[in-house]
Each structure stands twice: as structure tokens, then as C-alpha cells.
Structure 1
Amino acid sequence: EYLRKFGYLSGASKETGNLMDMKDLSEGIKRLQRLGRIPQTGVMDRRTQELMQKPRCGVNDNKIVFGHRKKRYTLAPSKWEKKDLTFRLYNYSPDMPMHDIRNIIYGAFQVWSDVTKLTFKEKMHGDADIMIQFASKYHQDGYPFDGKGMILAHAFFPGTGRGGDTHFDDDERWTYNSSEGVNLFMVAAHEFGHALGLAHSSEPGALMYPWYQGFQTKFALPRDDVAGIQTLYGAELPDLPPTKPTQPPRSDDGYTVNPTDRYPTGDPPDPCTKPFDAITVIRTEIFLFIGNWFWRLDSRNIIKDPINLHKFWYGFPSNLTHIDAVYERPTDGKIVFFSGDRYWIFNANYLVTSFPTKGRPITDFGIPPDVKKIDTVYVWGFNNRTYLVSGDMYWKLDANNTYVEYDYPRDMSIWMGVPVPVDAAFRHWNGKTYFLSGPNYWEFYDLKMTVRPGYPKSIAKDWLKCKNT
């Protein structure tokens, strides 16, 4: 039954399995043994029986092709013909709080968006490309779960109808950041690989290996999985950029954006004690900037090591010392940086073609020439429009994010309770808008146009988990 279910016996069934040639049965067992990295005896020995008891994905292994020395990944018969995908959590497991499950799901999608051009957006109602469900036993998709134990989850390859849908066995005990139970993050990241068009890999260390590999404290997507998904959707913003840009270096004409070198190159400042210059969400990570350094905070609130601005974003003038404001443009996903009275537009981590290294003046947006810097820029979740703030004034950009609306600026007092001046503001992936000033942050209550009660709160304590705060 196991060999039939997971694709090792072609054409076998409960009714005809006893009529199969013993040679076919032996070859099927050998294929399973080869994939499981145990001796290929061709008989149902002890090691094979133990392998068949291991927890695993419910998707079969019949698309795995052996023989490649470098390429172990396997592509499914289908892929998405678009890069912007939606998902919806149909229900939740009782094993964890809802907000923890949502953060885990976001983090599992981020595993794939970090290395491709894919984006994922949650829908709260209606249909989505990837419908996510916790279910038990028979759940109306033709692939019933088996109760607590072997099959942990399954997903459908891209397509219409059930294509992309991902189901988790609700009889398992789902956990997070723990070696006990079944780690939801690891299983979800694997299943989303199927939902995006990857079949199982024959590489034991790959995320797409059929068997559950347990909790990993510092997970990084293995090279085999990266190669597979980028074959389908191309590469995007790298996690660790090359030492030198792969495009020809641009000449710097010496334009000074801001001559104040607050944080010279060298050791990065301490984010637990220094205020942030700018903050934004790019893809599914929070980027935090201080001087010419930045940090990345993922959906699990794990902060990554600091990276020097000029070693990641290629195209800034060499004497740029800090970023005042930054945001990801909702119209096309390009990233817009502000420093002093200039701005730059990047595609991933490269300056867009033909954009001047010295930047362009912020007056391009209709900002008055006496405004010398933008304090912050953010996309407000209430209306998905972009706002620029300088001192006690703010502007709203038009729907194309190219020019300010005609009846602006307006006074920041409209945003009741928001500190003036504000250091940074951004829309979190939970849809909420946060304002930062000094060591504190405020959550904004959109419907009442005021900050929520109980604020300000500590950035270092709540977001960065700093000690001695």
C-alpha cells in the first residue's frame, strides 16, 4: 500500500497488487531505498520498514528522477503564470494562537519570496490562489489523512480549482520553535514548494526531500531548492549579496547628499540604543536603517546581521551617509529611497537603468523647494495611498505615486497623537501603521484617526528583544 500510494509501483492497486510481477515489486522497493539512502536490497527488510514509518509529506514521489550529480530537484508538471500570488487561511489549528499561525505562514512563504520574483498577499475572504486548511481524515479532496503519524500534510501543484491548495493534518500536534510535536514552519515551507511547482527532491538535505526533517533553529533554504524554484520563477533580491555588483560600476560625480557623516563606515551602531533613520517593509521583511547600515527583521521577529548600505544597494553615490525615508512602491514593487533633498529608485537592489547616481530632486514630486528633507514616507493601510512627511507637514501622492495631490500639504495634527517630528513610519505586514520617534513606537487607529491607547511602547523591547531595556 505504501509503495502504491507514493508512486513506486506503477499501475498497482489494492485489487491488482497481488498480480504484480515480483521483479516490479523489487524494483519499486529499491527506488524507495535509494531515495531513503539505505541499502538497496529490493526486499522489505528492517531498515525499509523503519523508513516507511517516518513522518512525511503526502505528495507522491513518482516524479523524482535519479542520476543527476548536481541537480536533485524535480519540477512539477505545472507552474504559476504570474508572480503575484494570493493566499487565504481557511481555518486554524487549535494547537497555537491564531496570530502565531499567521506569522508562521508568512515566514514559510518568505522562504520562497526571498529568492524569487514571487510575492504573496493574504486575502481574508473569498477565493485565493493558495487556500490553506487544517483538516482531519476525509476532507473532500480525495486524499484523506491517516490520523496522527505518518502523513503530515499535502499540497496540490499550481493550476485551477484545487491547484496550489495546501492542507495540514489537524490530528498532528503542531508546534513552533520547538523540537517537540511537528514544526509547522518546516512543513508549511515544504508544502508551499509543491504549491509553487516543485515536486520532491532526491537530495536528503533539501527542503523538498519527502521526509520530515524536524525543527531547525537557523533555517536557510538549501541550494538545491533555490536552484529549483529559480528555474521556475527567476531570481530576485539576494539574501547575501556578492562582494561586488555584477553590473558595471557607475561613476560618482561627487554630488553631496548630506555632508554630515554621523556613522562612518566601520562598526555598525547598536540598534538597541540608536534611533532608526528609516524603516519599511520590503517583500515580507522589515528593513531598519541607521546611518549607512541596515538590519532585516523577518516575520518571526528574528533580526539578521547588519549589512552596509553600499554593499547591498548598488548605485548610490559613495558619500551617501544615511537614508531619511524609504518605501516599496505599491504600483510596481520598486523601492524608493530619500536622503536630503534627493531620491533614488531601485529595482531589487540595483538602481534602475539610466537613473542618475546623484539622485533626482524631491521637487519632482511637487514638494516645495524650501523642503530640504523627507522625514518619513509610508503607505497607509486604510486607503493604500502613499504619504510623505516633513516636519509638521505631510503630502499625499496621487494614485500613480508620481506627484502630490493638489490640496496638500496639510498639518500633521490631523494624525492625532503622532509625535512631531517623526523619525519613521511604515505599514506592517499585519496591515497596521506604526510611527516611530526616538526609542518608542505608536500604533495608529485608522478609523478614529488617532494613536491607540497604551502607547508609546519600546522598539528595543518589543521588536528587537534587546536585553537591559
Structure 2
Amino acid sequence: MVLAHEIGHTLGIGHSDVPTAIMYPWYQKNITMLDEDDKMALESLYGPTQKFVHNPYNDKSTTTTMSTTTMQPTLHSTVTNICDIKSVDFMFLASTPSFPNFRLYIGFNRFLWKFDLFDIHIPLHSEYVKDYLPQKTQFEPISHIFQNSAGNLFAFNKLTGDCYTTSFPDLTILEINKVPIPTNSKVDVIFQTNSGQIFVFYDQAYYIEFNDGFKKILNRGRVSDRFLGLPKNPTAAFRYIDGYIYFFTQDTTTTTTYYKFSEYSRSVISSGPFDWNLFGIPWPNSSLKEQLKALLTRVLSIYE
């Protein structure tokens, strides 16, 4: 509580005369949440909070309806706030000279959110995933997107097996390849390591290691032999700025488990329930303690 009180001063807030406020000048036990007086002081300095995210698809209906004129489905997102997302279809980092800070792209249910890792604001608007794909691929079932070591975006068509390498951010197709895996096999995840190799997991048991661009197979084998501690059913994977590979398994429709993997020790070093605080993203719905933890996590990620 004392730390939170002093952070309040750092933000420019003076003392409060409300005994239940964190900014009350005398120490009070068991105060773990912001009082309304604290919130009013913050809003007077920085403006009101926005608890809900505008979504271009969102209206009072949460179902999928069919247009009688175009016979195309009209989508309505059931997610009005990104912090309500408990699982992801994909995540990837990307940067260009036009925005030198890394941005974290979060894909869920055909929608995309962007988050600047060195900004304190949460994403306020969702966008179409297809708008971040080349026009040729906008209506294809694309998954496993990431930015490779050359700065280009890689996207995989899970039905045809086509791999699109596109320039970023102008999204010009540079190359189209096929992932050379056994016929009728199902791709689970695709990701690139810090050292540049691309790994494809398939059939919940096997992997193939390629050089950048899928020009050459470097290795192949069982996931359990090369990636110690990983489960058999990862649904997404991406390389984060801390140097680790994060894998995700969707256990139920509302619960996801993360696995933090070190490519140097070739083992899982931590795992647990999925939490946005893993990536230093504080949500306004979180408790004060959780928001402070997210802030400190971001600071540590800069200096580690």
C-alpha cells in the first residue's frame, strides 16, 4: 500500500482526506483497491478511463446473421474488451523503421488487436485480421503468422499448406512455398527461433526444422525429444522480446495454459494459467496489485 501511495504522488496526486483512499496521508491496513476518491483524482489529471473497446462488428447482437442481399455472414464479436480474451488464435511481434518499438499483434476469432510494448495504453480498437494480410490471401484460412528474421511477415494457409512471405508493412507477396510435411498431416504450430530456424510441429508428435525460407530441412524428430516439457497439443507459439518461445494450449473454451520455453536449455522453464501480465500488459479491470506487477514486469523486460 505504501508503494501504491508513493506511486500516486509520482503520478501527480496529492493527499486525500478520505480515510479509505490510498492517498490518505496516514497508513491504513488492508486497503488493496483504489477508492473512488483515488479514481476521481486520477481522472481529473488524465481523463476518464475507457473500460470497453470499440469493435466495428459489435452491436447488441452477439450472433452471426446472414445478409439477404449478399448471402455473406455478418460477424458480431462476442468480445468487447481484449482483457476478456482467455485464449488466442495467434500472437506475433513485428517492428519496422516507421515504428521502432515492437508491437504485439493478438489474433482472436478473425479480429486483431495491436499493443505497443513500450506504451502504457491498452488497444482501444479491434481490426480485421484480413486487413493485415495480402489481398490475395484475405479470404483464406490463414494461421501461424509471425515476422521472420528478415523483417517479412510469414503466414500459413492451413488448408492448402501454402506459406506466404510478404514484405511488411506494405504486404507485398514476395514468395509462396509449400511446407514439406507428410501428406494428410495436420500442422499444429509454426514459429521461428532467435537463431533463425523455423520449426513446424505436426500431428501432435513430430517436428521438422527448416532454415529461413523452407529451402532446407535441418532436422526432424519427435517434439518430446527436442522440446522437453511441452505438451502434445500446442495451439499457438511465438517468440517474445525476452528471448523465450511461448507455447499455448487451449484446455477448455475459457482456460489456456502457457509454457515458457528456452531454446538454449531446450526445456520448459515455467508454465501456468495464461495471464496478460506475462507480457507486461496491465488491464483496467485488474486489481491494483496486478497492475503494479504488470508495470514492474515491463520495467524488468527492458533491463534484463
* Same fold (TM > 0.5): yes
Q: State the Cα distance separating 1:274 from its structure 2 match.
A: 4.5
The whole-number CA distance in structure 1 between the counterparts of 2:268 and 2:130 is 35
Q: Is residue 2:152 matched to residue 1:339?
A: no
Q: Is residue 2:266 matched to residue 1:266?
A: no
The whole-number CA distance in structure 2 between the counterparts of 1:278 and 1:425 is 7
Partner of 2:206: 393
Partner of 1:369: 183
What is the correspondence of 1:86-125 to structure 2 with a 5 Å cutoff?
Answer: none
The number of aligned residues is: 207
**Residues 346-402 of structure 1: CA distance to partner in whole angstroms, max 9, x if unpaired?**
2124442576xxxx5x6x242233234x32222222x3322122222211112x423
Q: Say if 1:299 and 1:396 are closer, same or farther in 2 by CA, change over 3 A.
A: same
The whole-number CA distance in structure 2 between the counterparts of 1:440 and 1:177 is 37
Q: Say if 1:354 and 1:325 are closer, same or farther in 2 by CA, change over 3 A.
A: closer
Partner of 1:379: 192
The whole-number CA distance in structure 1 between the counterparts of 2:156 and 2:173 is 18
Partner of 2:148: 329
User: What letter is aligned with 1:339?
Assistant: N
**Which structure has the bigger radius of gyration?**
1
What is the correspondence of 1:8-407 to structure 2 with a 5 Å cutoff?
Answer: 179-180=11-12, 265-267=75-77, 269=79, 271=82, 272-283=84-95, 284-300=102-118, 302-304=121-123, 305-320=125-140, 323-330=142-149, 332-340=150-158, 341-353=161-173, 360=176, 364-372=178-186, 374-381=187-194, 383-390=195-202, 391-398=204-211, 400-405=212-217, 407=219
Q: Check the 8 A contact 1:365/1:404 in 2, yes or no.
A: no
**Residues 388-444 of structure 1: CA distance to partner in whole angstroms, max 9, x if unpaired?**
22222211112x423341542x11102111122111111111212211112221211
The whole-number CA distance in structure 1 between the counterparts of 2:104 and 2:9 is 20
Q: Which runs of 5+ in 1 are unaligned?
A: 1-174, 182-214, 219-260
The whole-number CA distance in structure 2 between the counterparts of 1:291 and 1:339 is 16
Partner of 2:239: 427
Deviating runs (4+, > 4 A) in structure 1? 175-178, 215-218, 463-469
**Residues 105-157 of structure 1: CA distance to partner in whole angstroms, max 9, x if unpaired?**
xxxxxxxxxxxxxxxxxxxxxxxxxxxxxxxxxxxxxxxxxxxxxxxxxxxxx
Q: Is residue 2:255 matched to residue 1:446?
A: no
The whole-number CA distance in structure 2 between the counterparts of 1:268 and 1:306 is 12
The whole-number CA distance in structure 2 between the counterparts of 1:339 and 1:177 is 51
Identity %: 13
Q: Check the 8 A contact 2:258/2:274 in 1, yes or no.
A: yes
Q: Say if 1:385 and 1:353 are closer, same or farther in 2 by CA, change over 3 A.
A: closer
Q: Check the 8 A contact 1:278/1:424 in 2, yes or no.
A: yes
* TM-score (normalised: structure 2): 0.56
